Structure 1
């Protein structure tokens, strides 16, 4: 809310050449920056990082509701820093930002993509430990009593994999630790380039705007991205929490959604690294060109839709099964009452 209020306030103080405030051009530019933030929140690497971190923190019994917020805030910090430099007249960054072949673009593109891909691999490996633990509990479900299932499902994962990934898993303890990770993701300059070019293209059209009005662009961008990234983290928190509420009855769902999160993280991380490697070394052929052709933003929308569908289907199936159990219990109770009446 604060980002929305501050960004809108700065935008509405933008004067035009005649001294009037908030011209149509300025408002249009601000809305464009806000829309870019909304769009970028659905990038597949954002979704995979937020969803997998939420799953990991929930398994540790830690708060997760702000995972998406801190991640998007860190990502937006890079964009804000670039626009501050441009607003203060540091034009040395303007050329490299506008030129995709510049050394700055090449370095940051490799750095940001590598950080993103490796983190997705790491968080997927951590969740594989949880997946194995859930699978073992699922297999015991046919022979264990309900109470025993509840106890074993809530227990921390054990075994060789948990020993290998124990320290990395314990490294992520709070949602606030997603902020520096978001900063590192932001150095990929995929979104920073869009906003930087937006500022450069519109400064001449909105001539004479003060530097503080230009800051409305990255702040509105951050407002849009944090809104949807926070919403994604909240949705996944409730999606995972629904399984945690009654693990004995929802082991299959828990197994499915955790497995999907792991697969998504591995696929998105691999796609990013393949596309970056192919572009950096000018490689031709199926894996490199195929990875480069994938629109990760569209993939992000698909991931969110898929996870929500799985949750809704599981919820509907669970409610249907509950109604059937209640109906069966009612039939059993009626039969018992009749028997009691007959015996009486």
Structure 2
């Protein structure tokens, strides 16, 4: 779990940044990729909004959990193992997703577009082929029913109670959703554009994003493990949450810009 700042303004900014980072989760990207590809065949007009709809459903659950936890925060003492277990689960998922996406890039043939690889999407069955806006949002909501997301929402709510009541928890949850909405919404638009063309530029762009997804997942997992194993690294990182968050989001934004610029180039004839 992230160490959150003790002042309100920094906490607001970091929560939005963490939402952007969460939207870049490989499971999100893989599921939005699948939903967009399916809807380009049956609902082309809606396909580009799959990332936005997914995030709205996901964010609705985060908001509900944050409000619920803030309501009982005064009667609930968080066990010491809660944050540690959340961190271990997050690191394990990041390593798995980073490795799977790196393998996908390396295995892809020279004429194949690299598709993001996820873990949770395989559990959704026919919902992966949702073609109604409400069902796409439902897929996002189901994704939020995981220990990683639920513990993060609860952590935000418990932190917010230091500054006030449920209104503060609601604001943090909404900011988290808006950050996630920005990343996933842009990702949905990019995937729709990528699928619409099948030239060499699209092949390169998909590999750029695949390597970035893999690299960020493994990097965040390695840093999280280092903080858990080394008190010196944990102490050094204390108070630098905003710096790390902005650095990570800057890398995400630059990768999106590079991929979008590639897919704007004229198709090869």
What are the Cα deviations for residues 166-195 of structure 1, in whole angstroms up to 9, with x where unaligned?
x876235443331113x5334255423420
Correspondence for 1:107 among 51, 75, 81: 81
Correspondence for 1:274 among 218, 226, 249: 226
* 2:46 corresponding residue in structure 1: none
What are the Cα deviations for residues 76-125 of structure 1, in whole angstroms up to 9, with x where unaligned?
44422221114xxxx333xx4xxxxxxx3522211221222222223334
What are the ranges of 5 or more consecutive residues in structure 2 without an aligned counterpart? 1-7, 40-49, 129-138
Correspondence for 2:16 among 33, 37, 41: 41
Paired residues of 2:55 and 2:181 also in contact (CA < 8 A):
yes
CA shift at 1:234, angstroms? 0.8
What are the ranges of 5 or more consecutive residues in structure 1 without an aligned counterpart? 1-31, 97-103, 142-151, 200-213, 326-344
RMSD over equivalenced CA pairs, Å: 3.6
Correspondence for 1:255 among 198, 207, 213: 207
Deviates more, 1:238-247 or 1:256-265: 238-247
Matched, 1:191 2:156: yes
Aligned partners of 1:58 and 1:112: how far apart in 2? 27
* 1:132 corresponding residue in structure 2: 106
Secondary structure class of the residue paired with 1:123: helix
* 1:218 corresponding residue in structure 2: 169
Paired residues of 1:68 and 1:229 also in contact (CA < 8 A):
yes
Matched, 1:304 2:226: no
State the TM-score, normalized to the length of structure 1. Answer: 0.55
Correspondence for 1:58 among 33, 41, 50: 33
Q: Would the alpha carbon gap of residues 72 and 304 (structure 1) be closer, same or farther in structure 2, given more than 3 Å must change?
A: farther
* 1:176 corresponding residue in structure 2: 141
Aligned partners of 2:105 and 2:28: how far apart in 1? 14
Correspondence for 2:188 among 237, 240, 254: 237
* 1:341 corresponding residue in structure 2: none
Paired residues of 1:121 and 1:265 also in contact (CA < 8 A):
yes
What are the Cα deviations for residues 137-156 of structure 1, in whole angstroms up to 9, with x where unaligned?
x2xx4xxxxxxxxxx559x9
Larger Rg: 1
Secondary structure class of the residue paired with 1:187: helix
Paired residues of 2:206 and 2:259 also in contact (CA < 8 A):
no
Q: Would the alpha carbon gap of residues 289 and 247 (structure 1) be closer, same or farther in structure 2, given more than 3 Å must change?
A: farther
What are the Cα deviations for residues 249-282 of structure 1, in whole angstroms up to 9, with x where unaligned?
310111111111111111112222332x23xxxx
What are the Cα deviations for residues 198-236 of structure 1, in whole angstroms up to 9, with x where unaligned?
12xxxxxxxxxxxxxx43333333222212211210101
State the TM-score, normalized to the length of structure 2. Answer: 0.68
CA shift at 1:59, angstroms? 4.5
Aligned partners of 1:75 and 1:115: how far apart in 2? 18
Q: How many pairs align? A: 232
